[in-house]
Amino acid sequence: MIVVSFWTLNTSLPPSKMAEVGAKLMQKGLFPPKNSKPLAWYVCTGGRGVTITEIEGADANEIDFENWQIWLKECPGIFTSFESYPAVPVAKAMEIVMK
């Protein structure tokens, strides 16, 4: 399953703190969560970001939820918004629509 997450960082936190949190989660082996692989991970000026993740297994929704929670546990308030959506390739979407 491919999951696209859109998020906005809390701009009241210093960027160095957010980088520290990310480094700590990776060092602890918590990010990315088991059975998930980030395909893209970008942040824009102003703190808006997107992550595209490939998640394997029947518990993809749980893994997606875990991904959100590990960041909040490590740094409460790191996000002002976080939204995740399952995604399919456009060709597959067109195939579904044309049935």
| Domain range for 52 | 2-97
Q: Which two tokens stand for residue 9?
A: 């960082």
- The average confidence (pLDDT) of the chain is 95
CATH code of the domain containing 70: 3.30.70.100
Which tens digits make up the pLDDT trace of 60-87?
999 999 999 999 999 999 999 999 999 9
Is residue 11 within 8 Å of 95, Cβ to Cβ? no
Query: What number is the average pLDDT over the span 26-47?
Result: 96
Is residue 85 within 8 Å of 16, Cβ to Cβ? no
pLDDT at 57: 86
For the chain, the domain total comes to 1
pTM: 0.89
Query: What number is the average pLDDT over the span 82-94?
Result: 95
